[in-house]
Homo-oligomer: A and B are copies of this chain.
Amino acid sequence: MGTNDEELRLPVQVGVAFLLAQLGAHGAGRFAERIAELDLTPPQAGLLRMLAAAPGRSQRELADQLGMPPSRFVPFADELEQRGLIERRRNPEDRRLYALYLTDQGFVLLARLAEASAAHEREMCQALSPDERREMKALLERVAEQQGLGRGVHPGFRRLRPGHRPG
């Protein structure tokens, strides 16, 4: 149709920041598609990983770390509980709190999730040699640290749903 790059005239500076945003969104979308086969959304995957890493935390804490209000966390956790992936136990010392844990089924799914993450990592790094991949990772880590980002669940998880294939 002739709607190609030749039409671009102004200095469309494609810098590092744009590439990061573009690749980040693309990768997050691909990851969402991949784990949709496990019937998981990115926030759900994030919660499973959080519970594996630090079991027994309260809903309030988990909701805070996921960046969602407690009122939204409740149905969010309900679904995973009904699917038998997580478990709510009352904290006997403070009976206002629930303590959330992964079930055995949850651990099984977590293993499959780890597989999917590894496959996603390989897919995203196809273009790079092992050395380049290490180099890229080192540079990204430097930038992330300087930008004040920790190793937790990243905020882009929050709004993602699979099936938003860009044209």
Residues of A with Cβ closer than 8 Å to B? Answer: 3, 5, 7-29, 31, 49, 52-54, 61, 64-65, 67, 114, 117-118, 120-121, 123-128, 132-133, 135-137, 139-147, 149-151, 154-156, 159, 164, 166-167
Contacts and interface: CB of A to CB of B under 8 A. Distances in A.
Nearest to A124: B17
A17 B20 CA distance: 11
Main secondary structure of the interface of A (DSSP, over half): helix
7 contacts: A8-B54, A9-B54, A10-B52, A15-B117, A20-B24, A26-B155, A155-B164
Most chain B CB atoms below 10 A, which of A12, A15, A65, A167: A15
A24 B30 CA distance: 14
A94 to B, nearest CB: 15
A166 B31 CA distance: 21
Contacts of A114: 11, 13
Contact of A67 (B54, B126, B166): B166
Contact of A128 (B23, B28, B142): B142
A64 B1 CA distance: 14
